Homo-oligomer: A and B are copies of this chain.
Amino acid sequence: MSDPIRVIQYGLGAIGQAAAQVVLTKPGMQLVAVVDSNPVFAGREICGLPVHESLPDVAADAVIHCTGSSFAGIYDQLAEIVGAGLSCVTSCEEMLFPRYRNPDLAEELNNLCISNSVGVLGTGVNPGFVMDTLPVLLTAVSQSVRSIRVLRVVDAGTRRPALQRKVGAGLTREEFQKLADDGSIRHVGLPDSLAFLAAALGRPYDNIQESLEPVLRGDGRVAGVKQVASGNGLTLELQMFVGAPNPRDEIHIEGNPDLHVVVQGGTPGDVATPAILANMLPRLLEAGPGLHTMATLPLPRMAS
């Protein structure tokens, strides 16, 4: 057996701490440091390790990075990680398909990866798996594809409180609209999933439509959101609200053949997101250097 992958956990929010816990369960991985600049962690230990406020100079192979949703916003952190000769799996939603929003920055990061002989990958469950990687894989048995529709229904009532706030649960319609207008309710990553899916099928991705509307409770307040991205024959619909019936991930591929695939109950993001962040580390390390996507790495699977 080869040496364990030495992992630094960068970002200690809910997902980051959960990813560090997954690393601790893997014989093929070793958690060597944890990092978070938030003063709330100053002097504390997480997973038995002292929290560094910035990337420490320790012997390591790779970083699991969970700090922000905006590629431009985390670029300096990624550049520092790559510059230190470390590969990186990040939960940053815009990194699922970085060429979509920031082609220049993606090119710059790719060059930096190559000159430092490391790889960077953005992944997660959504974006990262249920509405993009999984439907792309299903087209492997398609002679032709006319359209793809993915529906993800999440009962926000079963998810962590941060997610319930994120979908606006409990707000009035007016409060919701205000937050929707300034972008703070929007689930980041739906158009990114669509662009990834389009590119994987050789379709253009420059004309993606988005809509966002509240789902209302019986008392007229907001239960959550229904968000749709569409374009080029592809439609991704995300329903996340408290009390959503029949939670599931459902993929319809119209073509030859038609395919209809259902993940019964849905893929539980709170467990699955930290899992996939850790699981992709060996795949990223065995791929060549560069800025990768879920479509360029060997078949994703659970790491040991």
Residues of A within 8 A of B (CB): 22, 25, 125, 129, 133-134, 136-145, 200-202, 256-257, 259-265, 267-268, 271-276, 278-280, 294-302, 304
- Report the Cα distance A274→B143, complex, angstroms: 8
Chain B residues within an 8 Å CB radius of A263: 259-261
Chain B residues within an 8 Å CB radius of A296: 298-299
CB-contact partner of A302 in B125, B129, B145, under 8 A: B145
- Report the Cα distance A129→B259, complex, angstroms: 14
CB-contact partner of A133 in B268, B274, B297, B299, under 8 A: B299
CB-contact partner of A141 in B256, B275, B299, under 8 A: B275
Chain B residues within an 8 Å CB radius of A276: 140-141
CB distance from A255 to the nearest CB of B (A): 8
How many identical chains are in the complex?
Answer: 2
A200 touching B260 in the complex, CB below 8 Å, given contacts A129-B140, A141-B275: no
- Report the Cα distance A297→B137, complex, angstroms: 12
A142 touching B267 in the complex, CB below 8 Å, given contacts A257-B272, A261-B261: no
14 contacts between A and B (CB under 8 A): A129-B140, A129-B141, A134-B137, A139-B302, A140-B280, A142-B302, A143-B278, A145-B302, A200-B299, A201-B301, A201-B302, A257-B267, A261-B264, A295-B298
Judge whether A137 and B201 touch: CB under 8 Å. Answer: no
Chain B residues within an 8 Å CB radius of A137: 133-134, 137, 299-301
CB distance from A304 to the nearest CB of B (A): 4
CB distance from A72 to the nearest CB of B (A): 26
Judge whether B261 and A201 touch: CB under 8 Å. Answer: no
Chain B residues within an 8 Å CB radius of A300: 137, 140, 299
CB distance from A96 to the nearest CB of B (A): 13
